[in-house]
């Protein structure tokens, strides 16, 4: 009897696994994957699905972020609504709108938003060191910083409404990205100059794949600070703002 071990064929490209965690060159057993690789695929798929349904650890983030926070909710009350109605994830609930009206009425340089997005696990893991690293620099340079907004069931555009309420010149949202089979905990950062409700994505700049296995914390903080500085100096963002960070000194 022929065993699977005898059927397994190694892939000539398996050396590429030394350079990437992407699912590449996993071998074959007949017309299928080897059992080990098939089981790993199923496990990674389950982990990605779990990330989509994970919840924001509000208390831990509040306890560890070095700035005042405010907890908000999008118009989507449940995860099912969030997934089925993307437009509701871009809007604040009425109680959250009222909370913002009661907080602050003076212009701010920046509003920082932390939202669960499609992977709260990513935000729970990575947002705290990134936010605190940014705060350390921004406070030193006298940026006026609105309370950090923690948003449940939020999508990127919800940050525009929050920034408008805070009268913030720039908004930064840290959000869980769509989970991949090799990256269920990837966090993204979106930055916008002069945000307002209804703007489109060409007005935003994105820093993606923030996690130790991707863009590590120091590199992500440096990139975000560069973009914030350029936005404040040039008064533009999105497709109009070219990334010429290489060789420039930050702060």
Binding residues for adenosylcob(III)alamin: 156, 177, 206
Do 208 and 220 touch, CB atoms closer than 8 A?
A: no
Do 193 and 230 touch, CB atoms closer than 8 A?
A: no
Q: Which residues contact 23 (CB under 8 A, 6 or more apart)?
A: 41, 44, 181, 182
Instruction: Work out the number of other CB atoms within 10 angstroms of the CB of residue 20.
Output: 10
Do 56 and 128 touch, CB atoms closer than 8 A?
A: no
Do 47 and 184 touch, CB atoms closer than 8 A?
A: yes
Binding site listing: 156, 177, 206
The three-class DSSP label of residue 45 is helix
CA–CA separation, 207 and 224 (whole Å): 7
CA–CA separation, 167 and 170 (whole Å): 9
DSSP conformation class of 177: P
CA–CA separation, 113 and 155 (whole Å): 11
* Angle at CA of residue 65, ends 77 and 189, nearest 5°: 65
Do 211 and 187 touch, CB atoms closer than 8 A?
A: yes
């Amino acid at each position: 009897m022929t065993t699977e071990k005898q059927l397994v064929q190694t892939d000539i490209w398996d050396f590429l696994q030394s350079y990437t965690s992407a699912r590449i060159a996993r071998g074959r057993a007949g017309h299928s994957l080897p059992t080990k690789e098939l089981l790993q695929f199923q496990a990674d798929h389950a982990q990605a699905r779990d990330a989509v349904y994970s919840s924001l650890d509000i208390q831990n983030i509040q306890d560890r972020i070095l700035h005042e926070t405010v907890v908000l909710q999008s118009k989507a009350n449940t995860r099912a609504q969030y997934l089925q109605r993307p437009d509701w994830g871009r809007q604040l609930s009425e109680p959250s709108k009222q909370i913002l009206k009661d907080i602050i009425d003076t212009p701010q340089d920046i509003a920082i938003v932390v939202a669960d997005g499609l992977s709260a696990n990513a935000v729970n893991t990575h947002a705290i060191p990134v936010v605190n690293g940014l705060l350390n620099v921004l406070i030193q340079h006298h940026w006026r910083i609105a309370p950090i907004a923690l948003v449940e069931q939020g999508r990127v555009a919800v940050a525009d409404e929050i920034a408008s309420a805070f009268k913030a010149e720039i908004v930064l949202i840290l959000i869980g990205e769509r989970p991949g089979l090799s990256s269920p905990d990837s966090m993204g950062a979106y930055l916008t100059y002069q945000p307002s409700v209804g703007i489109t994505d060409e007005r935003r700049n994105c820093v993606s794949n923030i996690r130790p296995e991707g863009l590590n914390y120091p590199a992500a903080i440096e990139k975000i600070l560069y973009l914030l500085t350029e936005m404040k100096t040039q008064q533009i963002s999105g497709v109009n703002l070219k990334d010429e960070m290489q060789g420039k000194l930050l702060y």
